[in-house]
Structure 1
Amino acid sequence: MYHEDALMGDRASRAFVRGVMIDWPQISTDSYLRRIPALASLEELRFESPVTMFCGENGTGKSTLLEAIAVAYGFNPEGGTLNYRFSTYDDVSQLGSALTVVRDRARTKSSYFLRAESFFNVATKAIEYNAHYGNRDLHEQSHGESFLSFFNAFDGAGLYLMDEPEAALSPQRQLALLVKIHELAAKGAQFIIVTHSPILLGLPGARILEFGEDGLRPCDWEDTDSYRVTELFVNRRETLLHRLFE
């Protein structure tokens, strides 16, 4: 029988990021951040599982919060490992400078911040840094192959922040990523993942936080919009399409 707690181990000893706190006085009163309900209602957030999933509709603040955590922790805003330092476009929000990270464990080089939209830039820097992932340069692989090659190079306990990793992956490759997350979490890694994928959201033992107009709330897998819409489409495709096309 599969036991979720056995997979995740001693949760209290696993966190690289135990929690985050937002000092709102540091953010300007006219900032768009104050108009995002899930963020505006948030002063403190604790991470209670080795794997935390952020889900919710577009524009609800998921990626903004993840980026702020990454910046506050010491990652490059455009992604990469803790050693990557480059900038192609400066659009970092004020949230990163107003956010404090509460740590339980020291930083480790076996950590990674993925932003799907800027992974091309990370792959370019990997070549400049003479860093090798897989048997070919990342630009010689497909988007999905290069992402998995990059991520599969990590094998230890570390902090992994991922913004919509499914954007590059087929459903089969999402399952491969799910296995890798499972393996690393069992070794003491911590994940914070923004995703719309019902496959990734279905990882047993993961804590799901839904961002919405009513704020931020814990959510079961079956109650996520990603699961509900997918289930509806698979089980009642003709009825759903008929209603949509009408």
Structure 2
Amino acid sequence: MPLSPHDFWQTLAPAGTYPAPDDPAGHIEGFPAHLPDGRELLLPIRVLPGDGQSAVASLIVNQASFAVEDALAGALARLLSPHAPEVIIGVPTLGLTLASNVARHLGHTRMVPLGTSRKFWYREDLAEPLSSITSPTHGKTLFIDPRMLPLVEGRRVAVVDDVVSSGKSMAATLRLLGKAGVSPIVIGCAMLQGSAWRHSLADWADRIVAPLATPLLTLAGDGRWRPAQAASGTGPI
């Protein structure tokens, strides 16, 4: 039975529940992503703007069940743990939910959130334009609260976002942190989507970890979606 939109992201299934990502039969409305322990999460296929021939498997963390969110945060925390981060920085908007959970899994008492809502005490020299694959034309500005700087200065920082796709949002985040004199030791996300991020984040390829990875999908003549390239998500990627 086809899933309703609100049914996705709610359940982790045992290994082997869904067809393999590279199954020759292709996929219709859902694409399976695999956690490092083999459990599977069925993600909705979202057609990208354009000619309708390309799509991605979508993950929206704050629409996931608490059980799925907690599993993703725990898996990401285990991948970040060898880097011994002292501070987790969360990237808005959806990365904030994940970052808070990851920080808890790592035993931290708080995390440092970046923001896109400008407060009157924010500084223009601590701001950076922001765009992403899901909102390419919606102009936003990314800020770090100046009052948070003592928490990150000279610390081992990990940056956490929900999904890295084009890499543009994360690249903007790294530029902003550079303005603040912060050089993260590692980037973590719940899912790496496609491979376009490798261009924007080429210098970081060996310092990005993610428990999930999904490929860009292309539409075949039979109306089914198949991977355009391979992806693996046991990080580093």
- TM-score scaled by length of structure 2: 0.35
More helix by share: 1
Bigger relative CO (Cα 8 Å, ≥ 6 apart): 1
